Structure 1
Amino acid sequence: MHNGTPSGTESIRAQNLSRVLTLLHRRGPLSRADLTRLCGFNRSTVGALVAELGELGLAYETEPPALKRVGRPSPLVHANNRIAAISVHPDVDAVTVGVVGLGGKVHRRVRYDAGSLPSVTETVNISKAVVEGMQTELAGMTRVIGVGAAVPGLVNSTDGSVLLAPHLQWANEPLAAALSTGLGLPARAANDANLGSLAESLFGAAVGASDVVYLNGSASGIGGGAMVGGVPLRGAAGFAGELGHTVVTPGGTPCHCGRRGCLETEVSLGRLLALLGLDHADQDQLEDAMTQNSSPALIAEANRQLDLLAEALANFVNIFNPGTIVLGGFLGVLHSFVPGRLESGVSAGAIGGLGSKVSIRRAALGTDLLLVGAAELVFSGLLADPASAGSL
């Protein structure tokens, strides 16, 4: 008698579907032969799984490019990037909203500059208005399955409530619930730096790396995270990775956390924007402005910030011994502005020669980084159990 729980065979099938769709999502188009090799399944099993994913609307096949070899080439299997998520990133100077498809494909990104700190209500209203203005893109989607939010603060991952986002002046705010009500879709939220780290590990500069330190710099400050042995460092309460509150200038600029001279107060986007005469800028706009207006004062400030960042990174190398450090947001722009300075500082500051062995990379996903990370919140359930979505 069927009791509503999956049988052993159904459970194995669900796991196998998950394995194939997750590979397509993370690695891009793969041939059936690739899937057979990567999954360890036989060809008929892979064929059946690909066919089922096709029936569910989650994958499709195309003819492979012509190859000069004997035999019929295997068709390419693609995750359906028209299965989409709405991503939302509130910050002190803007709310950015995107449409992201399976495979990390960003179909559209809109940055709405805010004149003042956006409240949760304003964040929801802005997101709703931007989504309504994206009807052309959304009409081309097979289905939008949820909303993911990347928040510069401490977030309860269970219910998506924001415990504290000091730069936004949010405390105990039910963000995910408010977004769900406003946009009419299931919604989840998490810390922006953790999501950025996840996105770079899946699609960017940290693919294949097991020991990584990630730092993201935005108008809100500097957030971070560490992956140790392939496992994200979470902490007892889930809030590990506040690397922006490492003190780099004892007795320096007061920080909202109550200390002085924290990394995020001494290395800040605001200091750069002030020298450029700008009120706000995303990282592309910042990079253009710094390239075109590289005054002696700007170069001096960039060098100062890079030297302090190098001091913090040397500490992180000594603590975590990462193989890779990934820098997102304005930190990546700084790194590119004066090539080599950061590497020299970290190499000189880390013990035992560890600093010369670590690879310091700019985040590969650029301005799409946090949108791609937020979308992973939405896609995680679908990837875990593709059949649960029903036919899309």
Structure 2
Amino acid sequence: MLHHGGAQTRAQLTRLSGLNRSTIGALVTELVELGLAYETEPADSGLVGRPSPVVHAAENVVALTVNPDVDAITIGLVGLGGVLHKRVRYETASVPSVRETINVVSAVIDGMRSELASSYRVVGMGVAVPGLVNQVDGLVLLAPHLDWSNEPLAETVEAALGYPVSVANDAALATVAESLFGAGRGVSDLVYLNGSASGIGGGALVGGTMLRGAQGFAAELGHTMVNSSGIRCHCGKYGCLETEVNLGRLLDVLGLGAVGLDELDALVVGSQAPDVRAEVNRQLDVLAVAIGNFISIFNPESFILGGFLGSLYEADPERLRAAVKRVTFNVVGNSVRIDRAELRSRLLTIGAAELVFGGLLTDPAGTSF
């Protein structure tokens, strides 16, 4: 409750949990003793009686995160409560191998060792990979844009860095993060689409549960066909969504190479160049077709766009909404909210941290770190 809901008074925790005051008092005391929470005095409310202390999740309890992509490796440090302490984006000259990724991450973390030892308690490391991942053992079965296959990533990174490591698909982690801390908070049925240099990934919450599929690879939405005459995709098919709605094609008309998400925002949203507007409009119209299909399949309450798809949306939200409305059943499509991910460039970092914090939240007293 503290991690996902923010600081709350003991009285609020009592009401929200349905437990009695003495039980909440004992639980808070235990969490404080474990170093997972701390209390502060509330502001003077002017009311009679002793005010209820405010309980906070300990932000110095942290997860290290890694997100490798075709153009950069991003390393993050996230505290309980979803607090982003630090994020480093290391741009690469070429698509990084597993060994190169580990070397970069090792160098960045070595530079943080003294700070980590003196100011933080590290629970572990979470890695968000744009590909098919066996989350149980951290094996990357296939990350086509990175040219990684059958890589025992969790085992390799753990051996190199010495932290417990968990690995999962980047879009699935982003879906979790946005549902807990962003635009999807409180929504039980949503579809999330993430756009990055590696392509488009997705995730779906159905009745509050992540849709995983028989092998854990559900919601590979970027490989939905949207153009039967389209170009060949990495997956072997033609006309996939991620080949038509594509960051590389957007950067080409902007005359740019690799660029961070925050910089892309300003360039896309503010551009009045005819060729840029034409490409933005083309991609929005194709994206609308895909969203219309996904709305018919999943019947979500909310549709959330992250990564460069959020920049596209921001360039002309009304065009996208109108196009989606044209290609969906009125009774199904009219009530769907289309939003940009609130976590923006923090999304994958927060999502990878959530992967690490899962065990701690399940068993706070039994987790050693």
Bin of the TM-score, shorter chain as denominator length: over 0.9
| 2:285 equivalent among 307, 315, 322 | 307
The aligned counterpart of 1:204 is 182
| 2:248 equivalent among 259, 270, 282 | 270
The aligned counterpart of 1:190 is 168
User: How much does 1:253 deviate?
Assistant: 1.5
The aligned counterpart of 1:138 is 116
Tell me if the contact between 2:269 and 2:312 (Cα under 8 Å) persists in the aligned partners.
no
| 1:123 equivalent among 83, 101, 105 | 101
Is the aligned partner of 1:160 residue 2:160? Answer: no
Residue 279 of structure 1 aligns to a residue whose secondary structure is coil
The aligned counterpart of 2:301 is 323
User: How much does 1:353 deviate?
Assistant: 3.0
The aligned counterpart of 1:336 is 314
User: How much does 1:291 deviate?
Assistant: 3.9
Tell me if the contact between 1:99 and 1:109 (Cα under 8 Å) persists in the aligned partners.
yes
User: How much does 1:199 deviate?
Assistant: 0.3
Q: In the aligned structure 2, how far is the partner of 1:140 from the partner of 1:64?
A: 28
Q: In the aligned structure 1, how far is the partner of 2:95 from the partner of 2:37?
A: 41
The aligned counterpart of 1:218 is 196
| 1:82 equivalent among 38, 44, 60 | 60
The aligned counterpart of 1:356 is 334
The aligned counterpart of 2:128 is 150
Letter in 2 for 1:36: T
Letter in 1 for 2:74: T
Q: In the aligned structure 1, how far is the partner of 2:333 from the partner of 2:225?
A: 19
TM-score normalised per structure 2:
0.97
Tell me if the contact between 1:246 and 1:312 (Cα under 8 Å) persists in the aligned partners.
yes
| 2:360 equivalent among 365, 382, 385 | 382
Which residues in structure 2 correspond to 1:13-24 (within 5 Å)? 23-24=1-2
Q: In the aligned structure 1, how far is the partner of 2:322 from the partner of 2:271?
A: 25
Letter in 2 for 1:375: A
Residue 340 of structure 1 aligns to a residue whose secondary structure is helix
Q: In the aligned structure 1, how far is the partner of 2:332 from the partner of 2:44?
A: 46
Tell me if the contact between 2:359 and 2:367 (Cα under 8 Å) persists in the aligned partners.
no
The aligned counterpart of 2:50 is 72
The aligned counterpart of 1:371 is 349
Q: In the aligned structure 2, how far is the partner of 1:83 from the partner of 1:72?
A: 30
Letter in 2 for 1:380: G
Tell me if the contact between 1:250 and 1:260 (Cα under 8 Å) persists in the aligned partners.
yes
Is the aligned partner of 1:101 residue 2:86? Answer: no
TM-score normalised per structure 1:
0.92
Tell me if the contact between 2:269 and 2:311 (Cα under 8 Å) persists in the aligned partners.
no
User: How much does 1:339 deviate?
Assistant: 2.4
The aligned counterpart of 1:110 is 88
Structure 2 gaps of 5+ residues are none
Residue 104 of structure 2 aligns to a residue whose secondary structure is helix
Tell me if the contact between 1:84 and 1:141 (Cα under 8 Å) persists in the aligned partners.
no
Q: In the aligned structure 1, how far is the partner of 2:211 from the partner of 2:44?
A: 45
Letter in 2 for 1:326: I
| 1:78-114 CA distance string (max 9 Å, x none) | 0001001100000000000000111111100000001
Q: In the aligned structure 1, how far is the partner of 2:146 from the partner of 2:350?
A: 22
Most deviating of 381-390 and 85-94:
381-390
CA RMSD across the alignment: 1.2
| 2:237 equivalent among 246, 259, 262 | 259
Most deviating of 238-247 and 352-361:
352-361
Instruction: Determine what percentage of the aligned residue pairs are the same residue.
Output: 59
Tell me if the contact between 1:348 and 1:355 (Cα under 8 Å) persists in the aligned partners.
no
Q: In the aligned structure 1, how far is the partner of 2:228 from the partner of 2:266?
A: 33
User: How much does 1:139 deviate?
Assistant: 4.5
Structure 1 gaps of 5+ residues are 1-22
Residue 255 of structure 1 aligns to a residue whose secondary structure is coil
Q: In the aligned structure 2, how far is the partner of 1:263 from the partner of 1:354?
A: 22
Letter in 1 for 2:284: L
